Amino acid sequence: MHKVLMIIFWSLIAIGIAGCDLNQNSSIKTLAAKGPIKIAVSNTPLSAPFFIAEQQGYFKRNNLNIELVRLDGGVKCFNALLNKQVDLATASETVVMFNSFKQTNFSVLASFVESDNDLKLLSLVPQKYHQLNNLANVRVGIVKSSASEFFFDSLLIMYNKTQQPIERIYLRADQLIPALLNNEVDIISAWEPLSYLLTQQITSNTKVINSRGLYHLSFNLIELKQTTLSASEKLALLKAINDAIDYIHTHSDLAQVDISRILNIDPSQLHYSWNDYTFRLSLSNALFSNIQIQSQWAIDNQLVPTEKSVDFRQVIDRQLLEDFMNSEAGW
């Protein structure tokens, strides 16, 4: 009888252990059956939190099956979302603003990085145009209907130069530096890493003005309002991104090594602009104001339908981030 009881006792323990193992792995098996959550991310250091989250295993630790779909630029990422090729996308506030005039079927869930020194005016003879002097008949290379053009127009307003006769030469981003070096333009309005790439060819200073703080770029996490993702999955994603941001803050040098390897860029290029990035999860009033200002610029320059009014509060969803912040604070 004693032997029978002992056999039953150890059998129950074995069943209990097996049950624990089953419970521990069941959610992972369910995730695998469901398939990965696809996120379109731009091939830029601005997307560092996503690359670090994947590299350091933060997605898996938060029980997420994530596939990063790497594309060149926020416009392509946003289009992949609209075409339902991905579940989420990352893009700048400028992309958000332009697309808000076309549809409001998407939501900005959070900003994850900001930079106040990403765009610059560059010239081979910057001293000639210091403080935006001598702009009459100057040839300026610009990427049309982009942050490049908005930044340049903002500077003209700030320095009271809007009446200057200026020749705008619209180019693709990859054409800006060649046009400057070939004397096809006198100034370019460019974002990183173009300033860094120019320093590799021209050793002298090329910056026309100190533009730090004059324009705030943000990259944002965006979803379609009709999504199959649950609130718990999105909260887990914010947790994984926040974990990656903490890693970036505490292991900056290691994070830079990882990002330069993942993006296959020279470490010196990454270091050139790394300190300009502020990685954090937010949805500040500054983002809303920035989108409003850019929208008025787009309307004034007839880049969007002038008869259409957009309430940008329709595309900014603060609830998810507030829920995440409350849960992190233990409320």
Quote the pTM value: 0.83
All domains of the chain in start order, with CATH: 35-115+216-329 (3.40.190.10), 119-199 (3.40.190.10)
- Residue 277 confidence (pLDDT): 95
Tens digit of pLDDT for each residue in 49-59? Answer: 999 999 999 99
Q: What is the mean pLDDT of residues 126-138?
A: 93
pLDDT tens digits along 57-71: 999 999 999 999 999
pLDDT of residue 284: 85
* Cα distances (angstroms) measured from residue 37 to each of 32, 33, 109, 142, 256: 10, 12, 16, 36, 26
CB 208 within 8 A of CB 129: yes
Lowest mean pLDDT among 96-100, 142-146, 234-238, 240-244: 142-146
Give the tens place of pLDDT for each residue, 160-173.
999 999 999 999 98
Helices (H), the chain: 2-34, 48-55, 58-61, 74-82, 93-100, 147-158, 176-181, 194-199, 231-250, 252-263, 267-274, 285-300, 319-329
Q: Give the model's pLDDT for residue 78.
A: 95
Minimum mean pLDDT among 12-16, 235-239, 240-244, 277-281: which range?
A: 12-16
* pLDDT tens-digit map of 3-24: 444 444 455 444 444 444 444 4
What is the distance in angstroms between the CA of the first residue and the CA of the last residue of the chain?
A: 54
Distances (CA, A) of 71 to 42, 95, 205: 5, 15, 32
Mean pLDDT of the chain: 89
pLDDT digits (tens, 9 = 90+) for 82-124: 999 999 999 999 999 999 999 999 999 999 999 999 999 999 9
User: What's the distance, CA 177 to chain centroid?
Assistant: 23
Omega of the bond leading into 305 within 30 degrees of 0 (cis)? no
Beta bridge partners of 77: none
